[in-house]
Structure 1
Amino acid sequence: MMKFQGSHILSVSQFDRESVARILDVAKRMIPYASRQKRCNVLEGAILNNLFFEPSTRTRVSFGTAFQLLGGFVHETVGQESSSLTKGESLFDTARVISGYADIVAMRHPAMHSVAEFAEGSTVPVINGGDGANEHPTQALLDLFTIEAEMNRFNKNIDDLNIVLMGDLKHGRTVHSLSKLLSLYNNIHLTLVSPKELQMPDHVVSALDNAGHKVTITDSMVGNLQSDVLYQTRIQEERFASKGEADMYRGHFSLNKSVYEQHCKDNTVIMHPLPRDSRPEANELDVDLNDNNNLAIFRQAQNGVLVRMALFALALGVEDKLSQYEREVTWFSSKGN
């Protein structure tokens, strides 16, 4: 198992199955704090620098929320135009300076491998919040946490599942990272549904093959959605050369109530990393599924707080001190009541 304390979290390739199990176990222990049943100030006085050089809502806010729920302070930089990177400063120099102001850094950047480059200059742990089309390790971990939690309802675990990944699999860093994590498990059947031009990269498919999983690659939804989990992704417009090119693929793999009832199992769990593109020309995940109890997308988003709390606790070495710093919640909370 990897050593967490003081370590960067840059890629899912760092993890073995034991390490993933440790993260998910610590994440479960965060439920009372995230649900406001209790509060915990184990990171009181610690500072997170949240550096987001690419647009983000859920990831950025959940990183900040996770750190604050453990009692820490959050400083944010949003957009490259707000930083000295626009003046030609290198990522190494930025890291050496910023890490001197913080105890840990969470970072998103549009360039592939940029967060690893930043980490080389950092004197504190760095957590990758997404580096271009490369990876999104914390999203993959929260996705895995969600799959495990949702499958518990049906007395199943991650081994032996039938999982569909659908949409823009070429540019979707969330499905790249999730697929690599799934390679740590046993006997999974993955069906990869996408336009031929947006298929999963060969190196990801090879990792799944090498893990002994059954992989089906198709450009048709018909007959291919009978699964335990259906993970839908949006067309990654920002990864295309032009909006016109992205528009060529919009709406081809829309999931709505009718499609679900015709092609999915009654208990197929629906996941999506969000944001879902609800524009009429895309409508990749219809609002007519909002009342379906198997729509897990909002539970999935909330699980991101738990997993990021766990990573902060592990990287800063406080995961076994949580109960010592528990307090009662003193305000009314609809979450905790």
Structure 2
Amino acid sequence: MKNDFLGRSLSVINDLTVDEQIFLYKQAQRLKEKWKNKEDLSKFQIKTDTGIYIVFLEPSTRTKESFVNAAKFHKNAKINIFESEHSSFNKKESYVDTFNMLTGYSDYSIFIIRSKLEGTCKLLDEKVSDFASRHNLPSPSFINAGDGKHEHPTQEILDEFTFLEQMNFNNDYIHIALIGDLLHGRTVHSKVDGLRIFKNVEVDLVAPNELQMPTHYISKMKQKGYNVRIFNSIEEYLKQNKKAKVWYFTRLQLERMGEDVLEKEHILRKSVTFAKDFLSLLPQDVKFYHPLPRHKTFPTIPTFLDSLPVNGWEKQAINGYWTRIILLSMFGGALNAPFDTSKKSIKINEEDFVVAAPIKDGRKGVLTEGKRGIKPIENGTVIDHIAKGHSPEKIYETIMKIRKILMFYNIDSADGIFKSADGNYKGYISLPDVHLSKKQIKKLSAISPNTTVNIIKNGRVKEKYRISLPPIIYGFEELMCKNENCITNPKNDENVHVSFIRNEDNQLICEYCETAHTFEEIWSL
């Protein structure tokens, strides 16, 4: 049984199980207590020749310096700091090639990375681990210090640790209000999974519609059993009786907003900025938190609150030092857990999207439609029920998309649109002497789910399948994540093939940046 964390990475907060997070928080609590009592702290220090690379590909002060000082706690480690403005990464050098080379410079390496490109740590964890395996090197660890508007798992760790401190490390229940720019704030996105360390969770989302939490994150919280409520402003929130005792504010990320939203800047700011008039409406023992820094002109937590008991953000910021020391202790091999720390892989049944359907009669294919125009074929495939229920224009568009992506345009075939007996339109493609491969059927299911595939031999339907949206979609060159800041997007020149996981709402989630897509949106053609 593996008990150490060597070779583990933290790309998203979900990379640590609940048990592993609780272990981290208890170790951070012990470290703080020993430091206050002036006890020996050497057991938390990395003992081996470890290279800690702090690679910030976008500017940062607080997170970077927090990690620099946490790394200096580990006296045996070699610390290397890459500044964004001076880094050779700005010369269009391949991320993968660069980190492959850096991996060979120490007995073991930990990379702490901040990047505008979302999914960078996941990519490097995959590719550099392959490189290390090829050359008999230990797999390095990667720590995501913030990637675009995706996630900030190390911020989430210090946040959850601070919440636990407020609750005397009782993780039975939390009621939290998330306030501010919930659309772009990566720290609140991390809370969707981070809050699962609590057995019961109530979340109040306080933001105007233009800045509200993305719907797929809200859906994900509900699926986890969180009780979620939505409010448009702090003023509206304070008018109701059930108020949280943990308030988590984020700044408005204007640099990520379009002109139509910026025109409402004043109204948006007011809706998520705390005012003096609100003080009398607060519940007793409430604490305010903020990932910092605050906007110096328009802080959502105004400075008049700094000296009041609601101030929890200063202690929160200090906790970043302690939790990051422990994270490095774990990934550097100084701390072992009393349970199995092997990386857990999620098993997906990749075949669950193809279901054999009964054949009502054996006549020529779907040729009961023959009188309405389908030309009978002796052998081949008929794709039926294409985009059923949509408009003829949408069905025709889907037929053309299938033809283009599956390269059926050079095949002597027929297609058309019919009105079914139930009054809905549907499309078909008839392919004489063509038998679809398994890969083609999977691609078809991702282009046009809820379609029927009929295999025809000697003029009769021998096999019939109903196909739905696959649980995982990958391996097709035509796939593309619509998020331009995703590491897989072609404009970023990293030559990464994107893959998508189907969630419970039949959305397709990019495995790298976790952007939600419909099946129509994943194709570059």
CA distance in structure 2 between the partners assigned to 1:69 and 1:190 by the alignment: 36
Query: Contact between 1:222 and 1:263, CA under 8 Å: does it hold in 2?
Result: no
Equivalent residue, structure 2, for 1:228: 245
Instruction: Map 1:27-106 onto structure 2 (within 5 A).
Output: 27-32=28-33, 37-38=38-39, 40=41, 42-43=45-46, 45-71=49-75, 72-79=77-84, 81-102=85-106, 103-106=109-112
CA distance in structure 1 between the partners assigned to 2:300 and 2:308 by the alignment: 16
CA distance in structure 1 between the partners assigned to 2:236 and 2:254 by the alignment: 28
Unpaired stretches in structure 2, ≥5 consecutive residues: 129-138, 338-525
1:138 aligns with 2:154: yes
The one-letter amino acid of 1:16's match is T
CA distance in structure 2 between the partners assigned to 1:243 and 1:101 by the alignment: 49
Equivalent residue, structure 1, for 2:13: 12
Bigger mean CA offset, 35-44 vs 5-14: 35-44
CA distance in structure 1 between the partners assigned to 2:72 and 2:33 by the alignment: 14
CA distance in structure 2 between the partners assigned to 1:145 and 1:206 by the alignment: 25
* Among 321, 324, 336, the residue aligned to 1:308: 324
Query: Contact between 2:117 and 2:147, CA under 8 Å: does it hold in 1?
Result: yes
Query: Contact between 2:56 and 2:113, CA under 8 Å: does it hold in 1?
Result: yes
CA distance in structure 1 between the partners assigned to 2:164 and 2:222 by the alignment: 22
Q: 1:203/1:159 Cα in 2 relative to 1: closer, same or farther (>3 Å)?
A: farther
Query: Contact between 1:141 and 1:178, CA under 8 Å: does it hold in 2?
Result: no
Please give the per-residue CA displacement for 1:226-259, whole angstroms capped at 9, x wherever unaligned.
2110000001233335698387233431124432
Q: Deviation of residue 32 (structure 1)?
A: 5.0
Equivalent residue, structure 1, for 2:27: 26
Q: Matched residue of 1:217: which SS?
A: strand
TM-score by length of 1: 0.85
Q: Matched residue of 1:30: which SS?
A: helix
Please give the per-residue CA displacement for 1:186-235, whole angstroms capped at 9, x wherever unaligned.
32211000110111112221221012221001112235252110000001
Pairs aligned (count): 314
Q: Matched residue of 1:188: which SS?
A: strand
The one-letter amino acid of 1:56's match is S
Q: 1:292/1:243 Cα in 2 relative to 1: closer, same or farther (>3 Å)?
A: farther
Instruction: Map 1:138-287 onto structure 2 (within 5 A).
Output: 138-152=154-168, 157-225=170-238, 226-241=243-258, 245=262, 248=265, 249-259=268-278, 261-279=279-297, 282-287=298-303
Query: Contact between 1:17 and 1:184, CA under 8 Å: does it hold in 2?
Result: yes
Query: Contact between 2:18 and 2:196, CA under 8 Å: does it hold in 1?
Result: no
Q: Deviation of residue 293 (structure 1)?
A: 2.3
Q: Deviation of residue 98 (structure 1)?
A: 2.4
Q: CA RMSD in A?
A: 2.5
CA distance in structure 1 between the partners assigned to 2:114 and 2:99 by the alignment: 13
CA distance in structure 2 between the partners assigned to 1:33 and 1:242 by the alignment: 51
Query: Contact between 1:2 and 1:19, CA under 8 Å: does it hold in 2?
Result: no
Q: 1:53/1:33 Cα in 2 relative to 1: closer, same or farther (>3 Å)?
A: farther
The one-letter amino acid of 2:55's match is L
CA distance in structure 2 between the partners assigned to 1:246 and 1:2 by the alignment: 54
Q: Deviation of residue 33 (structure 1)?
A: 6.6
Q: Deviation of residue 128 (structure 1)?
A: 0.6
Please give the per-residue CA displacement for 1:107-157, whole angstroms capped at 9, x wherever unaligned.
1001111222233343411111011111111111110000000122xxx73
CA distance in structure 2 between the partners assigned to 1:176 and 1:73 by the alignment: 32
1:114 aligns with 2:151: no
Please give the per-residue CA displacement for 1:5-60, whole angstroms capped at 9, x wherever unaligned.
22111111223221111111121122157659356453365331100111211111
Greater per-residue helix proportion = 1
Please give the per-residue CA displacement for 1:248-284, whole angstroms capped at 9, x wherever unaligned.
233431124432x1332121110000011130xx231
Relative contact order: is structure 1 or structure 2 higher (C-alpha 8 Å, sep ≥ 6)? Answer: 1
The one-letter amino acid of 1:11's match is V
The one-letter amino acid of 2:249's match is Q
CA distance in structure 2 between the partners assigned to 1:47 and 1:105 by the alignment: 8
Query: Contact between 2:4 and 2:333, CA under 8 Å: does it hold in 1?
Result: no
The one-letter amino acid of 1:299's match is K
Query: Contact between 1:34 and 1:305, CA under 8 Å: does it hold in 2?
Result: no
Q: 1:173/1:2 Cα in 2 relative to 1: closer, same or farther (>3 Å)?
A: farther
Query: Contact between 2:234 and 2:274, CA under 8 Å: does it hold in 1?
Result: no
Q: Matched residue of 2:333: which SS?
A: coil
CA distance in structure 2 between the partners assigned to 1:74 and 1:134 by the alignment: 27
Query: Contact between 1:136 and 1:174, CA under 8 Å: does it hold in 2?
Result: yes
Query: Contact between 2:10 and 2:16, CA under 8 Å: does it hold in 1?
Result: no
CA distance in structure 1 between the partners assigned to 2:328 and 2:200 by the alignment: 31
Q: Matched residue of 1:76: which SS?
A: strand
Q: Deviation of residue 67 (structure 1)?
A: 1.4
CA distance in structure 2 between the partners assigned to 1:33 and 1:88 by the alignment: 46
* Among 291, 307, 314, the residue aligned to 1:298: 314
Equivalent residue, structure 2, for 1:125: 141
Q: Deviation of residue 88 (structure 1)?
A: 1.8
Query: Contact between 1:48 and 1:67, CA under 8 Å: does it hold in 2?
Result: yes
The one-letter amino acid of 2:50's match is A
Q: 1:127/1:275 Cα in 2 relative to 1: closer, same or farther (>3 Å)?
A: same
CA distance in structure 1 between the partners assigned to 2:194 and 2:173 by the alignment: 14
CA distance in structure 2 between the partners assigned to 1:36 and 1:290 by the alignment: 28
Query: Contact between 2:288 and 2:313, CA under 8 Å: does it hold in 1?
Result: yes
CA distance in structure 1 between the partners assigned to 2:56 and 2:260 by the alignment: 23
Q: Matched residue of 2:269: which SS?
A: coil
